[in-house]
Structure formats: C-alpha cells, structure tokens
A and B are shown apart, each in its own frame.
Chain A
Amino acid sequence: MRLVRRETPLKGGQVRAFAAGVVIALVLGAILLVSTGHNPAEVYAKMLDASLGSPRGWSATLTRAVPLGLAGLAVAVAGSMGLWNIGAEGQLIAGAIGAAWVARFGGDWNGFVLITAMLLGAVVGGALIALGPALARARLGVNEIITTLMLNEVAIRVVRYLVNGPWKDPEGNNFPVAPELPPQSALPGFFERANIGVLIAAAVIGAVGFYSARSAWGYELKIAGSSAKAAEYVGISLKAKILTVLVLSGAIAGLAGGIELTGSSTRLVEGVGGGFGFAGIIVAALALMRPSGVAAVAVAFGAVQIGGGAIQTLGVPASIAGILQALILFGALGAAVLTNYRVVVK
C-alpha cells in the first residue's frame, strides 16, 4: 500500500477533510470519555443542546465565535502572504489593555463615544505589539514565528503586572483585577445573550474577505505569498507588504480583545486572552487561510467550547473542549492528505 499524488487535488477536499476531522475527534473523544466512566452519547447530546439547541445556545456560541473568528482572520491575513502570526494571543491581550486604557483615562463620555474609542484603542494596542515583529521581519528578515510567539508571553505578563500592580482595583478585595468598567462601556445586546460584537466581527471578516479577494492589494498579497521573486519582478514592495500585513493582522486580533472586554467582561482580568489567539491559529489552518472558512470554523469551535463548558454538570471537565479542538485539527490534517494523494493497494 502506498500513497500516490493526485494530478489535481480532490474537489471540495477541505470541507470533507474538516468533516472527517470532526468525526475522528468525536470517536477519539468518545474513547476517552468511556475509559473515564462517562457516557459519550449523553455528553455529546448535552454539548449539542447547550450550544446549538436553542436561540440562547446559539447566542452563546456566536458570542464565543467572535474572538475565535477575529483571531483566525488575523492569522489568515498574514497566512495568505505566507507569514505566520503566532502572536494573536498576545495581540488580543494588548487590544484588551488598549481598550481598558481608554476607559481608564478617557473622559466622561456617553456609551457610543466610549465604546468606539475603546475599540479604537484595542485596534491600536494590537497593531502596536505587532509592529515590532513586523519591522524586524521587513527590515532585518527576523523570523516572525518566534518573535510573535515570545510576545505572547510578554503580553500575558504585562496584563498580570497591571492587574496586580498599578491598575489593581483598590476595592477588589485584594483580587488581581482592574476596577469595573463604566456601565455604558458594555456593548449593546443583539439577541438573547449575544451582543453586537457578533455583527462587528461578521462585518470585519466580510470586509477583509471581500477586499482581499477582489482588490489589487489582495491580489498582490497572493503573488507575494506564492513567490517572492515574482512579486519583486512585477514591482511589489515586499517590505511594505510584510509591514502592513503583520500590523493589520495585529490590529484585527487587538479588535478581538476590545470586543471581549466591552462585550463579555466587566473589567480587565489576567485571563482576558482566554487561549483564543492560539485556537485562532487552528481555526485559520482548518479554513486554509480563507476568511469565509474562518467564520464557519469559528462557529463550529465556538459550539465545541460552549458545549464543553455545559457538560461540567455531568462531572466532565471543560478541558474536553480543548482536546476536541486539537483532535479535529489532527484528524483533518490526516484526512487532508487524502485530498492530495490516492491510496494505491498492490
């Protein structure tokens, strides 16, 4: 038995690979659940019901899909040019810090002005922390994988420092939290538990997807991603492209942090990153760096996470959500081999 490369990849292969990944993850997850004394059918039914079984469930799932989708989009924008932004987690945190900074030092504004300013602060925060790796890559050719990865750990510690030190809430019973945000900073509701962050994220993903598919900018990006030589030959400035793409990527991840803070939280806390930046990398990889796919995978992962949180009442740890997400990726990566290769038995 051996693998032979197909002349053309299987049509619709990635959708099939994703479906196969989900099936593989569910089977492996079921084995894990059975071996620890749980009933997989009951657990999966509860996960499905809690995440997609009601309007309320859908609202929670879509809310969770917002940071996953925006972080995924951030990774995908960089990935479409062949760059790896592993720092979405740190940029998301920097975005939340930027938004919190605006709320802390801004004026006594009404809700609309305050929220707009906070989200702008988030975009700037995410872009600023991405600027260093972007400059280092564009000017000096420094590998962006490692620099963005390292800055995740730096951002985690910056927010830890802030909520344990200068920004610590004096009335927080000594908990490491920043003071509560003003009530008018909360994003207005959309339906059930979801807020308009869902609409903002959908608009951003749609706009970036449309622009990168239809504009000259997006086309140049693809050329630069497939061949640096070809790009330089037709007069595309690689340095400028790298710089703008990585900073844009950081800004999008930063926006995710801003929406998390104004939409799903009432104050800046240490765990504001929530692992969304790391999960976003898997989301982007499963979507093959395409914005439309990012939205779909983000909703699926949102459902897994919300479902994972709901089964704690059955005595199953919420960590099953992370396990399933990673298994979906491994399953899909394995299945994707079959979209490019045929198995020949002889």
Chain B
Amino acid sequence: MPTAWWNMASEGPASEGPASDGPASEGASIEAPVRRITGPLDSVTSSALRVGEVLRVDGVIWALRDATLIRIFDEGKAPPVDLTGAILLHSAPSIRKGEDGHYDPVSVGTTTSMRMDRFTRGCVEQLGARAIVGKGGLSRTSGESLQAAGAVYLSIVGGAASPETQQVDAIEETYFEDLLPECLWKLRVSNFGPLFVTMDSTGASAYEEVARRTEERRAKAEQILGI
C-alpha cells in the first residue's frame, strides 16, 4: 500500500539545526513527529530539512502571490524590506481594515503554487527566501533553484484556511497596497501548519515521486476501465 515515500523520508535527520526546538507536543493530535522552525530561517536549518518531515512555524511569514511577484520581478520594483531567510506563503488573504489603518485577517489560506512557478528562482536567488509555502508543488526547474539555494518547498493542506487563519496572530506590515488583496503581507504566526516538506535542498520532490508512481499505476486504472 502507498506508504513508502512518507515512511522512508521520515527516517532522515529530523531534529538537527539551530532553529529547531525538536518535536513538539502541541502537534500531538497529528500522528507524525512535528518539528518546530522559526521564520526567518537560517541556511543551516533550511538545507537540513528533508522530504517527509512535518513542520510547524513560529515567527514571521511573508504572504504574496501573482500580482506581487509580477510587480517585483516583471516590473522590477524590489520590495522595500529585507527578505533574507524569509518563509514565503503563496496567499492573498481576506482582510478587514481597522479604523487606525491596520489590517486584521478575515481568512488566510494558500493558493496553487504552480501559477507562480517562474518566480521561484528570483525568490530564492534575489530576495534570499529560504522556504516557499504553497499547495500543489513546483516544477523540476524550480526544484533545481531551491536546491542551488539550499531552500525548500513546504506543502500546506489547501482549502483548510480556517485553522490557518487562527494561527496568524497579526498582520504586522503591508507593502504594495494598491494591489489589494495581492499585497506583500508580513504575518506574525504561531504553530503555523502542519507543513509538509515536499521539495528539499537535495533535489528530492514528493510530487515527482507521486507522479512517477501514478504513471506506474495507470495500467491498473486502465484495466478497471477496460481500455
């Protein structure tokens, strides 16, 4: 039965690296051991993460998506903040603007990463991001960029925005407000996740592994259909 990649990968060195606090009891309702990391990430931690690990994040995560990335890379307008070590999240939250001008999250969820695939290299090379959180995975080309930069792709459960929203303590800063809701958002998070390491700095990709296995299983599906 289909357990191989998950079990194999979780045998890796899961608890080394300076930003890790080791398995946390707060993730106890989730069966696998959970590793805590903090954003921004240092390069030792990001390059030690391995496909199959389950993570929770504390600290800062930066949300951005299509329009933000087009602004930064296609229009050449660098964000006015240092994103070295950043954990990026492919997201455009629903927000409510308070009377003092700050934004409160109404719904923070995660969008399909493949639409932003061509910006991966810029994110890790130019901006210095060390992790990209999204859903659905990135291409092999992006995987090579992540590998070269010692960065990782982390999968969240898409569509499950209500718990995700509760893990966002505050929206601390907002840039490119004219792109609302596709701004660059600085989020303060606690126990954010679970996130699944699905592309790592060794070049391993859980998505490629599943795609390879799906091709192997195509014959079984065709047999059921009698084609």
A and B pair up = no
